[in-house]
Structure 1
């Protein structure tokens, strides 16, 4: 008999081999760090006490440490099973995570056989489990350890092992035959013997270590073979100990064989599905658990609790397969269960009612699919748009709008438009759409004309009063999260616009974010549905409303269509709408030729209902503006005026009129340097700058391809960046002194957004451009242009001497040139306070680019205007 002894408390290993009649041989200290196995510890513990002490003295080992170590390890079960997937860890580590995820996305989810993963393990040791609770019907056998505790007159503990004869020997009582008795019968026997033969003593009986036994797991096991297991092991535990079953094993007919006979056939589905373990018998030494190959398999998918592959026994039906799958879900459509399989050598499909045809027999390879019920709700009415509680509402007979929408404050959002609502009704047979318009406020009050009766599957649409999300935010109807989302979306649109080419870039004012409940958003999808249902005769289903309405656009034709209804759909009339006359533009098809017809009508009478105006599909309702109507024009005065600010002026007022309303100018006003800007001119300048940039790029490319001359791309690129990045001023040159003196031919009629900036007194001359030191000097009437240029250090090498010009304080440009001849003298420009001398770049250095001078002149003029405005 061989054994190893290990002492972990002092950190080294001593091992010895005991052979009857031979000397003990120790293992070298080099192997002292090895850990003892459970079998070695158990073997040491079973040695007689004298031999244990002798070995301990021989190797200098504290026996108490070994005893404590053994007892501590006996408290824990050895890990007999570990997950089977651990054996594939090395293979999985070689597979990249990204590749695995990509494959899972490409490949559809594959259903797996039911129950196989429950038993999927891999044995790690063959050591039995010894501390499991012992049931009362456990049969005592040879090798079991019985613990007997006597107490009363004295306390005595006995550890008794059932010998091969099936007996235990209790001191003072003698041998007792216990083999074959149950655990409960054993306790009764020992208690009876003690009570009758040992006066004054009582006894407590418990089980110690249980005997081990060898069994066989055969057939389609994951790891077939012989296993040493506890005497409490059952069929299912044996399957776990062997690592489960293989991929082709049967879970429906696991057989327990004993002495060549089949004791029981265990259907694991009974255990896994119904929790029935009545056939999960205890094993005996030499038993064989046999796992045959699986039988017919069917696939159950769709709206079931547990989609998987299931094994069938002979005679099992569709109802059995659905029961194995855990039954159907709440969304299953049982009248149309699809069963697809092979019949008579070819694919066949059956559509069965699972409730009525559950007894349908199944075959190997059948695929059962339980479909989902339709998403449509037939007994409901939908509410969408600017409603507090959108979604489905139960329909009942006699249901009307105000049965769902009762209060404008509780059932509608504050932004809701109470003048316009739609009911979308879809025919169940043809899906044809019918639309009904109603006044929301009247419907909530119960007015019969607008409180329409509802039908199943109707949709009530409530619109917002705001078309743009920015208007809704300014009105205070947006939450903080909605404001943050709006800012994020606006910045995204700006970034996308910046990335576009100059030709495709749009002004920021056109980057519109529509409110989610606006007419634009809610009617977009509805209009698409309507257009796809065009009439046979070619007529459309939309009407265009244009002119003086709040939201011009196309609106769907409703069953109760009227001019007033379409005006309400367009958000109502503007203040400038002309009520005495409106017009319908109608296209009529006659003999295949389209003719245009104009139908004038009185808008006021049509809105009151006193005049009937027919509106047909594809009509255009034009609402005219009141003649001579002009909305208020805002004009801003800044600088040296007595009452600066923004003034609302009527159409036809001039610059002199608004200055008089502002109290006139102060004594410090520098009228010659006044800067007048207009939005229309600003936009024209922006377009001109973009055109110059495109033309300059084209000319650069043309020169480089044709002339082959070198081009200073650094300076050209800088000029292009300046052109694109410069914000236009929109300055209009005015002679304010003549205007204030009463010259009407110099006066200007004001427009919306006009701005007049009047600086203070200036007595300076500025020099900019290609000079050594651009600067500003005090005005001196005795100095000429050349004198000021010399004071600035003279011209640079690339200065255009003949292109020098003077920008007056009022924005006008006076060229400066030298003429020499027999009968001519040098011309002289009389400088005035506030003038700016501009020295442009010599264009010959840029290979005669004709746009260069024009571009630089525009930039210089803008710089002068901006400097005049910023000096206020």
Structure 2
């Protein structure tokens, strides 16, 4: 990560950041990571970061975050969490101080441990047992006081007396091992178990309480533990952090090992000795806990105990087809069978008859092939590596049948299935479409080459063809009649509910195909139903220019007239054409200043605007006929032409072509009309023919003119009859600095556009819009931006210097 961020700083701070478009901090780091993996150069990375808008402020923020996280994690990144997390049992201040000191020691030691040693230790079975947070082996403080617990200095005892006499005494055992009882004096409890202490106190308290002793005592006495003392134990040998630890008096060997961070990469889990008063009182085997769940050896520790962890004796690796391939620590008497048990046994695809063992003899390597019968007697040595292989990718007794049979698949080659006829019987026989003249038997030879044996199934079933014995890996192919010929279909086109391709069936008629296609549509013509048929003559030896044959029939009441006995043949195509007399309604919409606005259906082809206006009752007195607008939807042909225009514009990018942005790509467009001339001259060229979906809007009179574009103050003013262009430009404050004065144009209410000239007084009409286009200007960098660039470069140089010091 440090190298990655260093590369980022070098790449980024090489140039100044100017244009901010926005990238999150996480996106910046992710981009640098991916770009480095892709092999991009620093120059390419820098250019891309600048283009995406990474700023100097953002880079400084990422730098500060990195410095902060680096200072927090430095010195602890190699320390396992379980070595930093401590027991939750509340103890005295001295114990807490020792805990902090232990943690510092752990950090110092783990910083000096190489990463490869830590990774190697994780591969050894059981070594991570004492490194897990969820398995701390901490003693439970909620258990009843065990009777075999031995009291010692620092333990708090609670003595309850009830019955004829009642009293409670709560005292801590002194360093001399005593408690002070009023009326008795010092009572020595050190080294006694809870059971022994209760018996001893019964006799002592009988001196001052008469009802405690006797055959029928009237008072009872019981000792229990309050606060538990801490004990000091020593952990030596091959552990992560050897030393002296203060633990709860309930602690066991496993809890102590957890506190010490577990064994190191050479420590033994098979022989952990507990030494008490110079004598070994226990020799623990952690594998017994892991494999059998036995914790009988996990004894409770006492003050001054030593835990000794020696190096392992033999470390053996097992890999391949076992359930837990890894390193295992083995005892000198353990064998291959033992390590297979530790590894969870073989996987399902393992070769179990033998394993391969590589042994280092001190001079060179030796290989042993250990057979299954020797697993329990072949002993292992340090450095052995066992490999378990997979089973061979082949079958011992497999035959297969495929094709036109009821149960295709794999079958066992045995006494019941040993011939082709028996295999067919086992697969429940042939299907009705099976091709009986020839079946193929694919056979694998000893040299793994293949041969094909042809079988006459018809003769085999009749007994006239000798049955063929099967061999291992034989594959029997039984073809279907339909597989040996092209799939036969028929097609139907035109005015049916679901035109398309359908499977051919014998004796299929035109009526059958029409029914399968969902029946005739309303627009279908019942005359001129055509059928085209392929020309095919497999025995022909001459060229023919004839492509197909055509048959024509009529349909009446769903039946073909004149086609009695006419059946379809494979690949026939049926055409149901549209009736020439079928016409559906075509609607137009008229709105605005007409007497009856709304939707109207066209009564005939080529019906014109004046006809529809007449049917709508004519225009109202308030109508501004000259400003009427006609909106029209694109037809399919117009959409195709538009797509061609867009494609040409894109292919000519950078050349002398029309910009795509200037193309009108809407489905609805305006048709410039002159409704006043159309109504005055019905049937003329001004009287536009209406089309389906047209929307005609007749507005009321508007006496304003809008001026927009490159003017000083775009404005809307009252229309003044006879006023020229200069008058209206003055109403907008005059031309702007970048105005194209000679390119001004006017857009009329009816959708037409006209070029304006200053002396043309009739070109401006009520409701129109005067537009003055502006010149295109290349953007230049301002003086402030140029000065800012120099300032940014200087500040970035300082950041680069700090980065160099950071990554040294």
TM-score tier, shorter chain, comes to: 0.3 to 0.5
Give the TM-score, by structure 2 length: 0.47
Q: More relative contact order in 1 or in 2 (CA 8 Å, sep 6+)?
A: 2
